[in-house]
Structure 1
Amino acid sequence: MWQQNYDPLGNPNLSALLAALPVLVFLLALTVLRLKGLTAALLAVVVSVLVSALVFGMPAGTIAGAGLLGIANGVFPISFIVLMAVWLYKLAIRSGKFDVIRGSIATISEDQRIQVLLIAFCFGGFLEGAAGFGVPIAICAALLVELGFRPLKAAMLCLLANGAAGAYGAIGIPVVVGAQQGGVSLEAMSLMLMALVQVIALLSPAILVLMLDGWRGVRETWPVLLVVGGVFSGVQTAVLYLLGPELVDIIGPLAAMAALAGFMQVWRPRRIYREADTPPGPAQRYTLKQVLLAWSPFYILTGAILLWSLPAFKALFAAGGALASTVLHLPIGLLDGRVQELPPLVVNVHTLPAVWNVGWLNASGTAILVAAVLTVVLSPRLNLRMSGEELAQTAGEMWKPLATVSLVMAVAYITNYSGASSTIGLALAQTGGVFPLLAPVIGWMGVFITGSVVNSNTLFAHLQAVTAAQIGVPEALLVAANTAGGVMAKLVSPQSIAIAAAAVKLVGQESAIMRTTLGISLGLLAYVCLCTWGLSVLLG
């Protein structure tokens, strides 16, 4: 049995500084040294091992067990979900359905303000939920250029639109990881995200039109802004409350898209806005049957995730359920029951479990797999060979970012089990009631540097939770603040901007794109900081 030590150097601030060394090395490797993400993550793992052993005195066996558990959780369920989501998206492209989806959206209105709402906001939000990892920015920015938008403005608008959906991307993985790493329930974290993020989702359509056509555009389109923002944010909130984060970016954007298409049948703006009198982009007309069939992979996905989310379905795999035996609980022998948390972190000495839970049948990734298989069966242009090729190609493209995520998970688990992240949290708790004002900034910096809300939550969710417990505010609030602050950084993170620049053929002009989004990103971050601080006062 090994007990954590939260001040191994006899100086809380110095101990916290050395505890933060693995994260600092990872961030510096990405920025100053400009190493690849995988290389930076490997370097961070080495540093976390050295700090845990030499500074905190953690035994080698428990360090190895913590790293193994982190990598295992990175592989399943996280990498499994992301791989299946991107594969399904690629199957939709290979089947030809995606061309119909894009074309049908472009025909709803020639007004570029409406097209931004349809494509960058609604369709981009849907793609964030279905795939994430830069897919919506790349696709929607290129599509806006095809419809006559200037490349710089198309990139800027798609980056801004991503702020409404980024918290729930790739079937809700950022929220799931945040709750897991922070040790808070999904329900509690979801409630806090409603307060921090959903007002931004409500106002995002107005922000997009404001950036495109100024206040005049907002005045001329306010009815449709209310419809789209209200439906998008309202349905997101309802899904988050009733079902959890997995379908927030699937059902919400789909509902907003349907509401916008229906509203445009009975309402038109008095002035058709087109940027600098550019002609309408080419748009092919499709029949209702073609459109409905084109969207079928995502109807199936929604149905599968809904089924997997039902309490009755989950009960089958709970203790005593009919299928409970299909869930494997694999203790990590080098770590399980061998590390103890001590006061003041906890009231009483607490022995930490270390179990890798593997439920292939009840995993969200399996629901996406079912949707992908049904898509192949129901698509005449797809067969097993093609689908296998797409899966192999997806795995080839995604293995580096997914391996990076798994190694970052290893860093997080080593620092958490060694007590290093708790040491940082205890030091930050000295700021008292001021800390909630700064908590979203930590998430913002994490995403700005790593490009991923998942990585930011992996690195900092536990730290946020420990600090929250010490200063007497709900842990779920600061974990949600880390997520919300991180989402605002997606508007300006170098990775997101590089994707946008490549999509609109502006490689080399990334700084110009960043200048168009930086002010909005910082403004939204300030809102999240103030909202977090206000909630901490109210709830603490």
Structure 2
Amino acid sequence: MTYTPQISPLGPLWLSAIVALLPLLTIFITLGWLRWKAHWAGLTAVAVAILVAIFAWQMPPVLALLSATQGGVFGLFPIMWIVFTAILLYQITVVSGRFEDLRAVFALVSDDPRIQAMLIAFCFGGLLEALAGFGAPVAITGVMLMAIGFSALRAAVVVLVANTAPVAFGAIAIPIITAGNLTKIPYQQIGAYVGHQTPLLAFLVPLILVFLADGKRGFRQLWPVALVTGVAFAIAQWVSATWLSVELTDIIASLVGLAAAVVFMRFWKPEGGADALASLHADRDAELASMSEKERAALPKLHDEQIDPKSLTGGRIFMALFPYLLVIAVFSVTKLIPSVSAWLASTDIKIHWPGLDGNILKADGTASASTIYNFQWLSSPGTSLLISMVIVAIVYRVAAGDVFKEIWATLVKLRFSILTVASVLALAYVMNLSGQTITIGTWIAGTGAAFAFFSPVLGWIGTAVTGSDTSANALFSTLQQTAANHAGIDPTLLVAANTSGGVVGKMISPQNLTIAATAVGLLGRESDILRKVLWWSIGMLVALCLLVGLQSTPVLSWMLPVF
């Protein structure tokens, strides 16, 4: 029982492409219009993809179902394994009580709430995105901004806009790793291309944040430190993605951006901090006054007694930063030392997916390599994060019982996210192995070289609907590759563009809007938040479209890395 995908099984290419789009339309409509839960939308889309594969593409039912199982398992491991261990590491820092020290560390840099907001939402949020992603940075930093005086709505808007540039390399670069796995383009190569696109956003975002924090006055008074932070982050992201480590890119960039701000603040002092704090408090009081008793009760309970930053000793500062320094050290050893990296890779187990491997054929009659599942039980970034978590728990003296309690609590909290990601990856595998993705890509490629200017839009739409750049790459990376090959464009450029476009779609995704609204106590007011961030998302998307389009031409092709 073998199967060879057809490009146009229904005759006209346009008709086949429209039918192939049905699974994607299903997830868009159920999530965006009908507002179903993400896991139900994902499971329904998988069912539609299987039916399309069987009845339109004539794929044997057993192979269609097995394709879904392989994709679902890949969604569980390594993708959700990385997310689970990253969030668990963060939870251990909270249980230990050291997280409050970390919050006080930012106040040491500056007592200006606008600068603290930029550093927390952008630099620390970028670090959280690097380790966890999937909404964790928005939830954590949103509450931190409220603790320094921001209103709930303003805090939500600031953290959503801040959660852009780091997203492509989030959760130890899992969006890029996913794209590499599906397209068979080395993920290091995709990451390097992304690292020549998203720094544009990194350069702009801190400037936008000080404007969102305090309007024109904030921009006028704080643009120097915002510019220094953004440029430092952008350069570090470019250098790390190109020459150091794709997995460590956001960690390095976040710390470099933070360090640049700290050094700059030694020689430059902002004006208007007290006035800005008074304005923020007035904004917060007005928001509280407009709320009902029930709405005020939904706001997060903040610590009334905050740690005095001046009471922090060097030892407490080091211990507050220890988990993140440890992760950098562990990943530096496992990813940057060739002998260690090679040994870890040698432990990978190649699983020829039962019943599927050898039965999916390419056009030339050879077996597809996509049916081989790579079980990275030791080399996975998630395993490195687990080891880091254990070390942190020991150093912080967190009891074993508390650790296991957090493991269970994290599993329960992520249960629907796990199901959602597994279903989206199952959808991607069915569409890819049946040939639906190739059909759509071939049809879109009819736009020719102009498609490069619009390629980030697909990533933007995918992330806006699913709430995940990883899921957007699972849906569209192979499609981008196919379209590029047919249009004569560098496929790595368009796969990277899908990732970069996705980062500006995250702030308007229903999933992320709900996470932000829930974190700051505005559940049910997602539409209010959306209206505040939508135009920023569209503006950044237009800038990315122009950048990628010009990178596909001699005008800016010199920007791209050479492999």
Match of 1:480 in 2: 496
Give yes or no for contact 2:32–2:510 (8 Å, CA) kept in 1.
no
Give yes or no for contact 1:97–1:295 (8 Å, CA) kept in 2.
no
Match of 1:321 in 2: none
Asked whether 1:366 is paired with 2:368, we answer: no
Asked whether 1:336 is paired with 2:362, we answer: no
Offset at residue 106 of structure 1 (A): 2.8
Aligned counterparts of 1:186 and 1:386: Cα–Cα separation in 2: 37
Aligned counterparts of 1:383 and 1:332: Cα–Cα separation in 2: 40
Match of 2:435 among 419, 424, 440: 419
Pair 298,101 (structure 1): closer, same or farther in 2 beyond 3 Å: same
Offset at residue 276 of structure 1 (A): 4.1
Asked whether 1:522 is paired with 2:524, we answer: no
Amino acid at match of 2:334: W
Aligned counterparts of 1:137 and 1:202: Cα–Cα separation in 2: 20
- Post-superposition Cα deviations, 1:407-444, rounded to whole Å, max 9, x if no partner, equal 11111111111111101111111111221122111111
Compare 384-393 and 261-270 and name the one that shifted more: 261-270
- Post-superposition Cα deviations, 1:59-89, rounded to whole Å, max 9, x if no partner, equal 1232232112111211211111111111111
Offset at residue 148 of structure 1 (A): 1.3
Alignment of 1:241-256 (within 5 A): 241-256=242-257
Match of 2:446 in 1: 430
Amino acid at match of 1:243: L
Give yes or no for contact 1:29–1:40 (8 Å, CA) kept in 2.
yes
Aligned counterparts of 1:96 and 1:259: Cα–Cα separation in 2: 27
SS of residue in 2 equivalent to 1:196: coil
In the superposition, the TM-score normalised over structure 2's length comes to 0.90
Amino acid at match of 2:372: V
Alignment of 1:160-309 (within 5 A): 160-272=161-273, 273-277=275-279, 284-285=308-309, 286-309=312-335
Amino acid at match of 2:355: L
Aligned counterparts of 2:546 and 2:271: Cα–Cα separation in 1: 38
Match of 1:470 in 2: 486
Where does structure 2 lack aligned partners over 5 or more consecutive residues? 283-303
Asked whether 1:139 is paired with 2:156, we answer: no
Offset at residue 497 of structure 1 (A): 1.7
SS of residue in 1 equivalent to 2:45: helix
Give yes or no for contact 1:182–1:464 (8 Å, CA) kept in 2.
no
Give yes or no for contact 2:485–2:491 (8 Å, CA) kept in 1.
yes
Aligned counterparts of 1:491 and 1:98: Cα–Cα separation in 2: 25
Aligned counterparts of 1:340 and 1:443: Cα–Cα separation in 2: 28
Aligned counterparts of 1:69 and 1:244: Cα–Cα separation in 2: 28
Offset at residue 55 of structure 1 (A): 0.6
Compare 154-163 and 107-116 and name the one that shifted more: 107-116
* Aligned sequence identity (%): 36
Compare 384-393 and 265-274 and name the one that shifted more: 265-274
- Post-superposition Cα deviations, 1:268-287, rounded to whole Å, max 9, x if no partner, equal 11432514445699552222
Pair 45,279 (structure 1): closer, same or farther in 2 beyond 3 Å: closer
Asked whether 1:401 is paired with 2:428, we answer: no
SS of residue in 2 equivalent to 1:329: strand
Match of 1:48 in 2: 49
Aligned counterparts of 1:197 and 1:427: Cα–Cα separation in 2: 28
Pair 340,501 (structure 1): closer, same or farther in 2 beyond 3 Å: same
Aligned counterparts of 2:463 and 2:194: Cα–Cα separation in 1: 17
Offset at residue 327 of structure 1 (A): 2.0
Offset at residue 168 of structure 1 (A): 1.3
Amino acid at match of 1:307: V
SS of residue in 2 equivalent to 1:330: strand
Aligned counterparts of 1:264 and 1:131: Cα–Cα separation in 2: 29
Aligned counterparts of 1:45 and 1:491: Cα–Cα separation in 2: 25
Offset at residue 366 of structure 1 (A): 1.1
- Post-superposition Cα deviations, 1:251-283, rounded to whole Å, max 9, x if no partner, equal 211222233223323321143251444569955
Aligned counterparts of 2:419 and 2:8: Cα–Cα separation in 1: 32
Give yes or no for contact 1:160–1:208 (8 Å, CA) kept in 2.
yes
Offset at residue 6 of structure 1 (A): 1.0
Asked whether 1:445 is paired with 2:447, we answer: no
Aligned counterparts of 2:13 and 2:279: Cα–Cα separation in 1: 62
Amino acid at match of 1:440: P
Where does structure 1 lack aligned partners over 5 or more consecutive residues? 319-323, 343-347
Match of 2:372 in 1: 355
Aligned counterparts of 1:37 and 1:391: Cα–Cα separation in 2: 23
SS of residue in 1 equivalent to 2:351: strand
Pair 341,211 (structure 1): closer, same or farther in 2 beyond 3 Å: same
Pair 408,279 (structure 1): closer, same or farther in 2 beyond 3 Å: closer
Match of 2:343 in 1: 316
Give yes or no for contact 2:210–2:223 (8 Å, CA) kept in 1.
no
Aligned counterparts of 2:188 and 2:169: Cα–Cα separation in 1: 14
Count of aligned pairs: 528
Aligned counterparts of 1:210 and 1:64: Cα–Cα separation in 2: 50
Aligned counterparts of 2:199 and 2:428: Cα–Cα separation in 1: 28
Match of 1:19 in 2: 20
Offset at residue 305 of structure 1 (A): 1.3
Pair 507,327 (structure 1): closer, same or farther in 2 beyond 3 Å: closer
Aligned counterparts of 1:271 and 1:33: Cα–Cα separation in 2: 46
Compare 486-495 and 499-508 and name the one that shifted more: 499-508
Offset at residue 216 of structure 1 (A): 4.4
Offset at residue 372 of structure 1 (A): 0.6
Aligned counterparts of 1:365 and 1:508: Cα–Cα separation in 2: 34
Pair 203,181 (structure 1): closer, same or farther in 2 beyond 3 Å: same
Compare 348-357 and 121-130 and name the one that shifted more: 348-357
Aligned counterparts of 2:40 and 2:224: Cα–Cα separation in 1: 50
- Post-superposition Cα deviations, 1:515-538, rounded to whole Å, max 9, x if no partner, equal 111111100000111111111223
Match of 1:345 in 2: none
Offset at residue 183 of structure 1 (A): 2.7
Pair 49,276 (structure 1): closer, same or farther in 2 beyond 3 Å: same
Give yes or no for contact 2:501–2:541 (8 Å, CA) kept in 1.
yes
Aligned counterparts of 1:179 and 1:227: Cα–Cα separation in 2: 33
Aligned counterparts of 2:514 and 2:70: Cα–Cα separation in 1: 32
Amino acid at match of 1:390: E
In the superposition, the TM-score normalised over structure 1's length comes to 0.94
Aligned counterparts of 1:309 and 1:220: Cα–Cα separation in 2: 41
Give yes or no for contact 1:186–1:244 (8 Å, CA) kept in 2.
no
Amino acid at match of 1:274: A
Match of 1:379 in 2: 396
SS of residue in 2 equivalent to 1:210: helix
Amino acid at match of 1:200: L
Pair 70,278 (structure 1): closer, same or farther in 2 beyond 3 Å: closer
Asked whether 1:501 is paired with 2:517, we answer: yes
